[in-house]
A and B are shown apart, each in its own frame.
Chain A
């Protein structure tokens, strides 16, 4: 079997953020042991950003780093999102256009809540393994933003406990038979999926759900997906087989809780061992996740980027990954990262980009939330006001960023700034 996996990856963690503790205090949320939730910052999408700009801004550095030949072999763009802007036209069409890629390319979108990114990755892997187009590459872009049209105080109250963790972000993965960054273990996967109404996006610009039920489903799936993985992979052991672990990260405390849940369930491990194991194998995955919040479909890969950038890869290490999407579907899978892969990702300086974001004041944030600046689903015509938070605009214009300028007859118009 040919090698397959992630040839390159890049990340867009947004242009603006909010301090989560400051937000919680402002909302009067009484959260005992707040530090245990492991949440620092959340990325906030500005009104002139959308899932297309997030996706393109994630992919641009990756595409710029390819040779002409490499670029010409991208034959599939899979947009993975729960933040779609049209029921028919996929985000991939816009992304394809603004990355200037060739026409012999499949363009489509995948949806299953936060599982979408892993689904996209596995479908891309299957494309490469099928050898129906030898040497062909697939670009998988997971892109999600939270945008809520919060019209009144009661809507804000209802959102109160999920607001601190919700974020925005995008990742781009180039999948091919030259997996320089992450060599996937083909066929080594486990799934756990069933119908449950835990969280959903049932209407334009709305989210609904039961956070408790969602956590329960996440934990059941974590155990179920790993058990299915272990059924397929002889000798697989949660403690021994993986040098590092990356889980879908709604917030840091949740993955710590899930890790603890598995360690207790599988081994009845003691608290000291669990804590040490978490610090060693999982804390690197929180590096970026703690700074952007829940990035839905992209979340697992933000966790992977954090691990690859900061952990020890003096010798190649196997990473265990767990993706969960409400509704629900989950997957446990694995792959190997080496030192060369780490060097490639470090060159993107993700940390530096996150530190360059504009810090929103709570007044700025309220302006964005309550004002008439949110572009609602189905908007036919609008011209975006780039000065809505005046100080954020100069920060946004890095010279290599796509921005939404206007919507004309439902068509979205962008430019580079």
Chain B
């Protein structure tokens, strides 16, 4: 699984957690906060993504990414690192 594949998982999860974004275009440079995804929802996206890619990590280790692309890169590094 690479960063692009993880990015797709994250986007699918965002649309699941926030159905209002189902038809919204989401790119790697977008941040969840700017898309209107609040902090509780962002953490839910992260948890569901971790479960989908079979990665078990403390959430605090995922603090830092400024956009979805960076989050995908970080998860990829943790998964394959």
Residues of A within 8 A of B (CB): 31-33, 36-37, 196, 210-213, 215-217, 219-220, 224, 253-254, 256-257, 260-261, 264-265, 268
**Minimum distance in angstroms from A191 CB to a CB of chain B:** 15
> B36: which A residues are within 8 A, CB to CB?
32
**Minimum distance in angstroms from B67 CB to a CB of chain A:** 14
> Number of residues in B with C-beta < 8 Å to the partner?
16
Q: Which of B2-10, B38-46, B73-81 contacts A (4 or more CB under 8 A)?
A: B38-46
> A216: which B residues are within 8 A, CB to CB?
43, 59-60, 62-63
Q: Does B53 have its Cβ within 8 Å of any Cβ on chain A?
A: no
Provide the bound-state CA to CA distance between A220 and B62, in Å. Answer: 11
Provide the bound-state CA to CA distance between A213 and B63, in Å. Answer: 6
Provide the bound-state CA to CA distance between A264 and B13, in Å. Answer: 14
Given contacts A211-B39, A220-B60, A264-B48, 7 further A-B contacts (CB under 8 A): A32-B36, A213-B60, A216-B60, A216-B62, A220-B58, A220-B59, A254-B40
Q: Does B26 have its Cβ within 8 Å of any Cβ on chain A?
A: no
The majority secondary structure among interface residues of chain B is helix
A/B pair count, beta carbons within 8 Å: 51
**Minimum distance in angstroms from A37 CB to a CB of chain B:** 8
**Minimum distance in angstroms from A20 CB to a CB of chain B:** 15
Q: Knowing A216-B43, A257-B43, A265-B47, say if A33 contacts B38 (CB, 8 Å).
A: yes
> B22: which A residues are within 8 A, CB to CB?
none
Chain A, residue nearest B59 (CB): A216
- Select the residue from A196, A256, A257, A268 with max chain B CB neighbours within 10 A: A257
What are 20 A-B pairs at a CB distance below 8 A? A31-B38, A32-B38, A36-B38, A37-B38, A211-B39, A215-B40, A216-B43, A216-B59, A219-B43, A219-B59, A220-B59, A220-B60, A224-B58, A256-B40, A257-B43, A257-B44, A264-B44, A264-B47, A264-B48, A265-B51
**Minimum distance in angstroms from A190 CB to a CB of chain B:** 16
Chain B, residue nearest A198 (CB): B60
**Minimum distance in angstroms from B55 CB to a CB of chain A:** 13
> B62: which A residues are within 8 A, CB to CB?
216
Picked from A36, A213, A264, A265, the residue with its CB within 8 Å of the CB of B40 is A36
Q: Which 3 A-B pairs have the closest CB atoms?
A: A257-B40, A216-B59, A32-B36
Chain B, residue nearest A216 (CB): B59
**Minimum distance in angstroms from B80 CB to a CB of chain A:** 22
Chain B, residue nearest A253 (CB): B40
Picked from B38, B42, B44, B59, the residue with its CB within 8 Å of the CB of A260 is B44
**Minimum distance in angstroms from A3 CB to a CB of chain B:** 37
Provide the bound-state CA to CA distance between A103 and B60, in Å. Answer: 46
Chain B, residue nearest A33 (CB): B38
Provide the bound-state CA to CA distance between A37 and B38, in Å. Answer: 9
> A37: which B residues are within 8 A, CB to CB?
38
The answer to whether A261 touches B39 (Cβ under 8 A) is no
**Minimum distance in angstroms from A31 CB to a CB of chain B:** 7
Q: Knowing A196-B60, A217-B60, A220-B59, say if A212 contacts B39 (CB, 8 Å).
A: yes
The answer to whether A212 touches B40 (Cβ under 8 A) is no
The answer to whether B42 touches A261 (Cβ under 8 A) is no
The answer to whether A261 touches B47 (Cβ under 8 A) is yes
> A265: which B residues are within 8 A, CB to CB?
47, 51
Provide the bound-state CA to CA distance between A254 and B38, in Å. Answer: 11
Provide the bound-state CA to CA distance between A33 and B39, in Å. Answer: 12
**Minimum distance in angstroms from B6 CB to a CB of chain A:** 19
> A212: which B residues are within 8 A, CB to CB?
39, 42, 63
Picked from B43, B48, B51, B58, the residue with its CB within 8 Å of the CB of A215 is B43
**Minimum distance in angstroms from B31 CB to a CB of chain A:** 11
> B44: which A residues are within 8 A, CB to CB?
257, 260-261, 264
> B58: which A residues are within 8 A, CB to CB?
220, 224
Chain A, residue nearest B48 (CB): A264
